[in-house]
Amino acid sequence: MVDPGRYSLEEVWSQYPAAVEFIRSHTNLKPRVALSLGSGLGVVGEEIAEAATIPYSEIPEFPAATIVGHEGNLVLGTWKGCPVV
């Protein structure tokens, strides 16, 4: 998404629908839990079953991954039976 420090809240919120529509077009999964996996936790992401992996760079208005070693993917699937993103 756009940088909230540079734009008004209204401008930031106006960017979400395009990203949501794009993500929904790639999966029918309705996540119940969001996981934010930082450095060293990528192994958890590898355990997500039935995963749909979408590079951030393909999602409209989504920020790019800027940390070296971070894959920059949105992963949706199930982990231990729970639908997650």
Residue ranges making up the domain that contains 79: 9-84
Whether the full predicted model's pTM is greater than 0.85, yes or no, is no
Quick check: is 1 in a domain?
Answer: no
Summary mean pLDDT of the chain: 84
Q: Residue 3 falls within a domain, yes or no? A: no
Out of 10-14, 52-56, 63-67, give the one with best mean pLDDT. 52-56
Q: Is residue 34 part of a domain?
A: yes
Exposed/middle/buried for residue 3 (C-beta within 10 Å: 0-12, 13-18, 19+): exposed
- 58-84, pLDDT tens digit by residue? 999 888 777 777 778 899 999 999 999
Site of tokens 């800027």: 66
Question: Quick check: is 2 in a domain?
Answer: no
Structure confidence at residue 28 (pLDDT): 92
∠ CA 41-27-63, nearest 5°, is 55
How are the residues of the chain apportioned to helix, strand and coil, as percentages rounded to the nearest 5?
A: 30, 20, 50
pLDDT at 45: 72
Position 55 in a domain: yes
User: What's the number of domains the chain is made of?
Assistant: 1
